[in-house]
Amino acid sequence: MAQITLDVFRFDEAVDVVPHRSQVTVDVPETTTVLDALETAKAEVDGSISFRRSCRSAICGSCSMNINGTTGLACKTPCNTVMDKDGVIQVDPMPNFQPMKDLVVHMDPFWDKYTRLKPYLQPADRDEDHATERRVSPEDMKKLVDVANCVMCATCYALCPVVSVDPAFAGPAAIAYAYRFIEDVRDSKRDERIAQISEDYLWLCAHCYACSYCPKHVDPNDRIVDVKRAAIADRVMMNERGPRHALTVNRTIRQTGMLDETELILGTIGRFNVRGLLKVAPLGLRMAAKGKLPPIFLKPIPKVDEVRTIFDALEVPVA
């Protein structure tokens, strides 16, 4: 047994203006989960502590919260992996959400982004008489099973740094779930779905891998890349900055072997997009003043033709 002190974020939107904290000490085996420690605290010490939970076994997705500053499922986190030397564990509501009461948050933005996906199969025919099966090969199904493990706990959404500054971004889980339908051979709305998730800022993912902490190994970060490849392959919304950026990177590496920083800006924003270029100009001028501008003409690396051979052998799109 160990003495564990839960340092809990307390807030009730109905009465409180500012949050406060309370410390609750419980005697539990140190291998117990943070959720069970909270349950014990609620049962034995302070019945007013609020948190969501149901399954207690990482299946329902209810109990995601911040534990010592990083987000995860309380029922999947043993106390002895997170407590400090005095046995203290800080628990807070998930960031990127509005707190409702203690560890319970308003989940609406997360569900809204999910609902926008039309998260159900839209086959080409309505199959009113249910006469034939819609068959999927094992290989095609394999692509979808990882994503189907998503329990919608919103851990990834809470950890996403882009969501934290721009709530218009769909967020990792919604893009992963879009992938689930985009890659489903039974669905008929592939390109509409790609277009819609592109409009919800697919390309605004910052490649930070924070969502690789998904407790169910959905790895939205990898699914986001898959959706981008689908967008490029189907040539959906190619005039957006995201695809232009990616293709310009390809083009400059193929030409010079290097990532050409100057060309990247021109290619992404558009050589003739004067307004767009003027917006990035102040930073460019500040850099120029410090002698920090990248070279205008980049000298290709030695044996750059080898790089071109690689690009051509793999048929990498460059524009």
Partner 1 sequence: MSTTLLPEQRAGDAHKQTKSSQSKRYGFFPGCVAKESCKELFNSAMLLADRLGIELVELTAASCCGASVVNDTNRDVARVLNARTYAQAEALGLDDVITICSTCTGHMRAANKELLESDVHMTQANAILGKFGARYNGTVTVRHLLWLLIDDIGLDRLREMVVRPLNGLKVAPFYGCHIIRPESVNGWESSRRPHSLEDIIAAIGGEPIDYAGKTRCCGFHIQLEKEGVATSMVGQNMRMAKDRGAQAVLTPCPLCHLALDGYQADSAARWGRTDLPTFHLPQLVAFALGVPPEKLGLNKHLIDPRTVMVAQELIA
- Residues near ligand SF4, by CB under 6 A: 150-156, 159-162, 172-173, 176, 205-211, 214, 216, 218, 220-221, 224
HSE, side-chain direction, 13 A CA sphere, residue 235:
3
What would the DSSP string read from start to end of 243-277?
A: HHHHHHHHHHHHHHSS--HHHHHHHHH-TT-HHHH
Q: Considering beta carbons, is residue 120 or 272 the nearer one to ligand SF4?
A: 120
Q: Where are the beta strands (DSSP E) in the chain?
A: 2-10, 20-28, 64-67, 70-73, 88-92, 98-101, 104-106
Cβ proximity to ligand SF4: between 64 and 252 the closer is: 64
Task: Report if residue 37 touches ligand FES, rule: CB under 6 A.
Answer: no
Shortest distance (Å) from residue 76 CB to ligand FES? 7
Cα torsion angle, 209, 210, 213, 216, sign: negative
Binding mask of the shown chain, residues 58 to 97, with x at each position contacting ligand FES by CB under 6 A: xxxxxx---------x-x----------------------
H or E element in which residue 117 lies? none
Name which of 26 and 214 has its Cβ closer to ligand SF4. Answer: 214
Residue 88: strand pairing partners: 5
- Cβ at position 89, least distance to ligand SF4 in Å: 21
158-168 per-residue burial string, b: 16 or more CB within 10 A, e: under 16: bbbebbeeeee
Q: Which residues bind ligand FES (CB under 6 A)?
A: 35, 53-56, 58-63, 73, 75
Q: Which residues bind partner 1 (CB under 8 A)?
A: 69-70, 161-162, 164-166, 201, 203-210, 212-213, 219, 221, 225, 228-229, 232, 241-242, 245-247, 249-250, 253, 257-261, 264-265, 268-269, 279-280, 283, 286-287, 290-295, 298, 301-307, 309-311, 313-317
